[in-house]
Amino acid sequence: MRQIPSNPVFTAIDKNDLSAAKDVANAIDGLTGGIKLGKEFFTAFGPEGIMKVVGNKTPLFLDLKFHDIPNTVAGAVRAATQTMSPNMMTIHASGGPAMIRAAADAAAEFGASAPWILAVTVLTSMDDADLNAVGVNDQASDQVLRLAALAKENGADGVICSPLEIAALRREFGPDFKLVVPGIRPAGSDHGDQKRVKTPPEALNDGADYLVIGRPIAAAVDPKKAVTDVLESLS
């Protein structure tokens, strides 16, 4: 059965050091709503490493951003669900309608244990200039809305978006479409390579369902305090 997050904060622990990832997970156990693990960690340690970090009780956001032909993505969704039981996992909305539908249908096969399929719209490290460089001659906000509509029409449970698009997506797609938001930076923290950011209270007030926070927690001297500070800012 899919675990229910206790709060909206998912901590991203994308380290390639299994011991360090486990240390962070243990430090924030019972505080964070869930843990996000992605390509760097998965490539190094695979499903076994994922389960060593999250165990059987911590909600998992599996961020592998599948993007391939529909049959391959469907198979990947099934395999990931069987081996790691994630709460949610990502695909790229730019994979197109057939690929999104294949992922959603594969997830639905697991009934009450089905993970949410979240479509990545525009990466939070990209801005309008980056989109133009790859041939998308629209603003990031327009591309996000276009891809979100495609995702919803083809069965995705929600999208990954930057904090800057939350309010527009919520207005357009209503309260039931999941908005999971990286690019969250507590006040005063370094933005790193994120270009479209907001603070946790700003993002939640705009209508985000879940906030993904990485380095400000995972790289903190005291990850437990960092999570606690974020949760207090939300209260």
Q: Could you give all domains of the chain from N- to C-terminal order, each with its CATH number?
A: 9-234 (3.20.20.70)
Nearest of 90, 87, 42, 41 to residue 67 by alpha carbon? 90
Please tell me the predicted confidence (pLDDT) of residue 191.
45
pLDDT digits (tens, 9 = 90+) for 17-51: 999 999 999 999 999 999 999 999 999 999 999 99
Is residue 89 within 8 A of residue 158, CB to CB? The reply is no
Residues 53-82: what's their mean pLDDT? 96
> Among 65, 178, 224, 225, which one carries the catalytic annotation?
65
User: Using CA atoms, how far apart are residues 34 and 49, in angstroms rounded to an integer?
Assistant: 16
Q: Is 57 part of the annotated catalytic residue set?
A: no
Residue 57: per-residue pLDDT: 84
Strand partners, 20: none
Place of tokens 């909206």: 8
- Read off the pLDDT of each residue in 222-228 and give the average, rounded to a whole number: 95
Report how far apart, in Å, the C-alpha atoms of 27 and of each of 51, 78, 85 are.
16, 31, 22
